[in-house]
Amino acid sequence: MSFEDQQVIPAIRDMKQLERFLRSPYQYGVLLECYLGHLKGIARAAQEHDKKLIFHVDLISGLKHDEHAVDFLCQEIKPAGIISTRLNVILKAKQKGVYAIQRVFLLDSQALEKSFAVINKGKPDYIELLPGVVPHLIKEVKKKTNTPVLAGGLIRAEHEIKKALEAGAAAVTTSNEELWKKK
């Protein structure tokens, strides 16, 4: 499973960024924040531009963050994937056959250990680590889980993308449009 060798995955926060993503050379993008009422229009626009969107379920206003939300999204919106911090959402996304991406916040050692337990239960297709600027943890998580890692959060410069990729990240997610340069 890959994102067509796309090393940078634009993370879209608003409609203006969505418009710029739709005009970009990228095939995959992550929709971070939106309203339930906008989903069908967003999906239609993505399809018209031959783009594949991954929806961060936890950040869709008006949609409960559970397995029923995944059912709805997969039936009505047909995303390429789902991102969530919630195990039940990841399990449902896997069942539906879309990319299941477990978002993990690197707060401290205890949070990391708890995340390993959730990852082992959910067996996501990818793990998105935030912040993504800690290369040694990218290596550790990838090695310990045998799961591809996406690095996201606080990535502000091209050298940080390079370090994340060198550490073994499959790709980097970023809302920083200056970093949306085709790699």
What residue ranges define each of the domains in the chain, with the CATH number in brackets?
A: 8-178 (3.20.20.70)
Question: Among positive and negative, which fits the CA dihedral 6, 30, 122, 71?
Answer: negative
Convert the pLDDT of each residue in 142-167 to its tens digit: 999 999 999 999 999 999 999 999 99
> What global pTM score does this model have?
0.96
pLDDT at 182 over 70: no
DSSP string, 129-181: EES---HHHHHHHHHHH---EEEESS--SHHHHHHHHHTT-SEEEE--GGG--
Convert the pLDDT of each residue in 79-122 to its tens digit: 999 999 999 999 999 999 999 999 999 999 999 999 999 999 99
Type of residue found at 130: L
Q: Mean pLDDT throughout 16-25?
A: 97
Determine the pLDDT at residue 62: 96
Question: Whole-angstrom Cα distance, residue 30 to residue 21?
Answer: 10
pLDDT at 180 over 70: yes
- Who's near 64: CB < 8 A, 6+ residues apart? none
Determine the pLDDT at residue 3: 87
Q: Name the one residue in this structure whose structure tokens are 């783009």.
A: 51
